[in-house]
Chain A
Amino acid sequence: MQTDRTPSENPDVCVVGSGVAGALVAYSLARRNHDVVLLEAGRRFDLAERGRQLEEALRPSRDINDIWDMGGERDQFTSSGDIYYGLNNTRVKAVGGTTLHWLGITPRFHEKDFEMNTRYGLASDWPISYEDLRPYYAEAEEELGVAGSSDNPFAPPRETGFPMPAFPPSYSDSLFADACDDLGITMHSVPQARNSETYDDRSQCVGFSICIPVCPSGAKYSADVHIRKAEEHGARVIDRAPVQRLDHDSRGERVEAAMYATPDGARHRQTADRFVLACGAVETPRLLLLSTSDTYPDGLANSSGVVGNYFMDHPIVSVTAELDQPTNQEPIGFHTRESHQFYDHDDPTPGSIKLVFDNHNPANPAEMAMRGGDSGVRGDLTDVLTGDSWGDAVLEKMRGATPNRTVRLFASPEVLPRQGNTVELDRSKTDNHGNPVPDITFSVGSHGRETMAHCREIQRDILDELGATVVSESSLENPRVASHKMGTTRMGVDPDTSVVTPELRSHDLENLFIASSSVFVTGGAMNPTLTIAALALKLADYIHSDT
């Protein structure tokens, strides 16, 4: 239990946010003897709590957001775009951040993702290339512990193998294999930050099958791993210390202090030589927008006016179908086969697609038994009248749902950055500290819509070939999102159209840096976190060499 939450005396670097981005910057600098303090809004969760969290996650009475204490006044938000954006389902505020809850799939972006304008005349290029990030991708894979294999013919070039062997295909993957073969679709392994063997003193995956929202064994990487390592190297982590605003010097050239609140109601002022914001792609722009001054009435680092613009996420396109044979009877919490065959494209639109062969298992005996045999909340509604069953009756109901005969395909399509997709401040609503809450506007443009339709065509072709009967399809109009928040403080060389330089330094303030997917210029269709990690390690190298 932390009691001293007073500021550190003149540290070299103050990092705000302890997700994978902040944790890696802190660790990489502390390891090289920089004096680092890290301010984190959420609390610490002890490793010994994970079993309790597992039980809570399976119990019908708990909402998934309760597992990591998300929600309430602290986390209020507004969603005002075409598509409802359920922000709190997409993030965790705690030491370790959203990786505590994530799935852990860690592909690299492809070369094309950095060159969308040059190749297709779409959006903008990144000011850095795949080659610039390539060594950092390898380092990130080592740090997170990625299991993978070189069986993917569509993957971008890599210099070394993966730190761990890939997870073998599931039984349900094998059912897709013939159909994909006939259609000329290549299936391959999935790089993921999950231990296929003991790695970095963490357990091999033991198959609790509940990676989202919590891995009880620690086999799934989460950023609390690097928080512990950073602390071992002398970094100081202050939890429950949400930064309220950043103050700058009289000339508006440097950040002087991060003002943070503590649970006792006190406010503190943390000074440092350098500041790294790593609050994710919603809270990072929000903090900048909250930090107004006479010099910067539109918020800090915002002379371009684009802080909060170009917000991106990947809409999910999924299809569930039934076969007349058992499919994925033995559950596992992650998927083991994907196809990146539809990633690199020749024409601009439809854009990149990442296709996922899910290990779908709707039957979860503990949860079903606790719900009286209902497989979902809908069944619970009639319990008031009929009462739940237990004993032999519940077993009969559960047997009706097994063996599992469902298969499911997922895809994430590329969407382009749109200036009108934003994170702004909603001044009509405040959080527990009286600050305006984030207001998210999210919609999918025509490129994204066409790409989503292409995903659906491919999925239907595969299921047709498989002879499966489609039972449900996700809405293309109102899709769920993959929780890959990106954009909002984009990098670029032009201070009029971007927020940070290719080195991730603010164009406006010389000692302010950003480590987050908020700096992404475009979002590809790959999961973002390995790229976040690679950028964080690159930033730490830059800060190290710049001191």
Chain B
Amino acid sequence: MELTRRDAIIAAFAGGGVTAFATFGQTEGLLQSRNETTELGDAEMRTLVATAEVIYPSAISGIETFVENYISALPPSQQGLVASVTDELRSHTRNVRGRDFPNLSIGERNSVLRTMGVDRVGSDAYGTLPERVRYYVVNQLLYGVYTSPTGSRLVGIQNPVGHPGGYESYQNHPENPQSDAD
């Protein structure tokens, strides 16, 4: 299932505090926050994409573009936090593996995350490094993909919780999840 730019943008809109669907007169928006972004560099973005390749289902393609669009559309402050925890993950990986995280194979990346205990801890924005990686890297990326229809369609849901997908869908006959996941 191909992730689209629209998926990423909507997910970030929803998560980024932008009331784009209201007519509040709030104009602070996605493009504005993208242009203001400075902290997040190539190395961090590559690390995030490399993490997504581990934690996203293999049925999803277009991961790189999705992650780039989604992360760069987050509000600058949140993006900065994601970037700095990503950097910590990179240095940790260099310490234990002698190489940068994105340069490892998917299996090795998986093993780095699990050996650190990222799969065993709760996510905590103020916690230990594994807890912060869980919060700012792993869960941020999972939030992005599973509040977008492309992610949720893999489980047969067109309009997941957290996605502003139009309120008509709740009236529809449930669809067979398998037939959607092509």
Q: Are A50 and B19 in contact (CB under 8 A)?
A: yes
Determine the distance from Cα of A390 to Cα of B113 in the docked complex, in whole angstroms: 11
Q: Which of A57-65, A279-287, A508-516, A527-535 is near enough to bind chain B?
A: A57-65
14 other A-B residue contacts (CB within 8 Å) besides A216-B21, A219-B22, A403-B174: A51-B17, A51-B18, A53-B17, A61-B135, A201-B24, A207-B166, A208-B14, A330-B158, A331-B159, A331-B161, A364-B162, A365-B151, A365-B152, A384-B120
Residue in B closest to A218 when the chains form the complex, CB atoms: B22
Q: What residues of B have a CB within 8 angstroms of the CB of A267 in the complex?
A: none
Which residues of chain B come closer than 8 Å to A370, judged between CB atoms? 123, 139, 142-143, 146
Shortest distance in angstroms between A156's beta carbon and chain B's nearest beta carbon? 28
- Chain B interface (Cβ within 8 Å of chain A)? 13-19, 21-26, 28, 54-59, 75, 78, 110, 114, 119-120, 122-125, 135, 138-139, 142-143, 145-147, 151-152, 154-177
User: Does A435 sit at the interface, judged by CB under 8 A?
Assistant: no
Q: Which residues of chain B are within 8 angstroms of A363 by Cβ–Cβ distance?
A: 155, 157
Give the chain A neighbours of B55 by CB distance below 8 A.
390-391
Which of B18, B22, B120 is within 8 Å of A383, CB to CB?
A: B120
- Residues of chain B within 8 A of A327, CB atoms compared: 174
Least CB separation from A51: chain B residue: B17
B146 / chain A contacts, CB cutoff of 8 Å: 365-366, 368-370
Given contacts A216-B164, A332-B167, whether A403 and B54 have CB atoms under 8 Å apart is: no
Decide: B123 and A402 in contact? CB cutoff 8 A: no
Chain B residues with CB under 8 A of A330: 157-159, 169-170, 172, 174
Chain A to chain B contacts (Cβ below 8 Å), 29 pairs: A51-B15, A55-B15, A60-B123, A170-B171, A203-B21, A203-B22, A204-B167, A205-B167, A207-B166, A207-B170, A208-B14, A208-B164, A209-B161, A330-B172, A331-B161, A332-B169, A361-B161, A364-B161, A365-B147, A365-B152, A369-B146, A369-B151, A370-B146, A388-B119, A389-B119, A392-B59, A401-B155, A402-B155, A402-B177
Q: Which residue, of A48, A168, A198, has the highest number of chain B Cβ atoms within 10 A?
A: A48
The chain B residue sitting closest to A205, CB to CB, is B167
Residues of A within 8 A of B125 (CB): 61
Q: Is the CB of A216 within 8 A of B14?
A: yes
Number of interface residues of A (CB under 8 A): 71
| Chain B residue at minimal CB-CB distance from A393 | B57
CB distance from A365 to the nearest CB of B (A): 4
With A54-B162, A171-B172 as known contacts, state yes or no: A49 contacts B17, CB within 8 Å: yes
Chain A residues with Cβ below 8 Å from B22 are: 47, 202-203, 217-219
Let me know if B161 and A216 touch, CB within 8 A: no
| A398 interface residue per 8 A CB criterion | yes
Residues of chain A with a CB closer than 8 A to B162's CB: 54-55, 58, 208-210, 364, 366
Q: Counting CB contacts under 8 A, is A399 at the interface?
A: yes
Determine the distance from Cα of A155 to Cα of B146 in the docked complex, in whole angstroms: 41
Interface string of A172-197 (1 = CB under 8 A from B): 00000000000000000000000000
Q: How far is the CA of A201 from the CA of B54 in the complex (A)?
A: 44
Alpha-carbon separation in the docked complex, A218 to B159 (Å)? 18
Assembled-state Cα–Cα distance A210/B162 (Å) = 7
Please give me the residue from chain B that is nearest to A389 by CB atom. B119
Query: Distance in Å from the Cβ of B50 to the closest Cβ of chain A?
Result: 13
Q: Are A61 and B19 in contact (CB under 8 A)?
A: no
- Main secondary structure on B side of the interface with A: loop
Evaluate contact between A359 and B120: CB separation under 8 angstroms. no
Contact of A171 among B54, B164, B171 (CB under 8 A): B171
Q: Does A426 contact B (CB under 8 A)?
A: no
Decide if A359 touches B17 in the complex (CB within 8 Å).
no
**Is A326 interfacial (CB 8 A cutoff)?**
yes
For B143, give its contact among A49, A361, A366, A392 (CB under 8 Å): A366
B156 touches A169 (CB 8 A): no
Q: Cβ of B157: which chain A residues have Cβ within 8 Å of it?
A: 329-331, 363, 365, 402
Docked complex Cα distance between A328 and B166 (Å): 16
In the assembly, what is the distance between CA of A14 and CA of B139, in Å? 46
Residues of B within 8 A of A390 (CB): 54-55, 119, 138, 142
Cross-chain contact of B142 among A52, A207, A369 (Cβ < 8 A): A369
Rounded to whole Å, the gap between the CB of A402 and the closest CB of chain B is 5
A372 within 8 A of B: yes
**Chain A residues with CB below 8 A from B175, complex form:** 329
Contact with B along A56-85 (1 / 0, CB 8 A): 001111000000000000000000000000
A55 contacts which chain B residues (CB < 8 A)?
Answer: 14-15, 143, 162
Q: Is the CB of A210 within 8 A of B161?
A: yes
At the interface, yes or no: A380 with Cβ under 8 Å from chain B?
yes
A387 contacts B119, CB within 8 Å? yes
In this assembly, does A395 line the interface, its C-beta being within 8 Å of a C-beta of chain B? yes
**A128: CB under 8 A from chain B?**
no
Complex contact B160–A365 (CB within 8 A): yes
Residue of A whose beta carbon sits closest to that of B154: A395
What separation, in Å, do the CA atoms of A364 and B124 have in the docked complex?
Answer: 20
A80 → chain B closest CB, angstroms = 33
Contact A387 B114 (CB under 8 A): yes
Kindly list chain A residues whose C-beta atoms are within 8 Å of the C-beta of B124. Answer: 61
Q: Name the B residues within 8 Å of A471 (CB-CB).
A: none
Check A202–B24 contact: CB distance below 8 A: yes
Contacts of B26 in A (CB 8 A): 47-48
The 7 tightest CB contacts between A and B, nearest first, are A329-B174, A326-B174, A51-B17, A332-B170, A207-B167, A387-B119, A366-B146
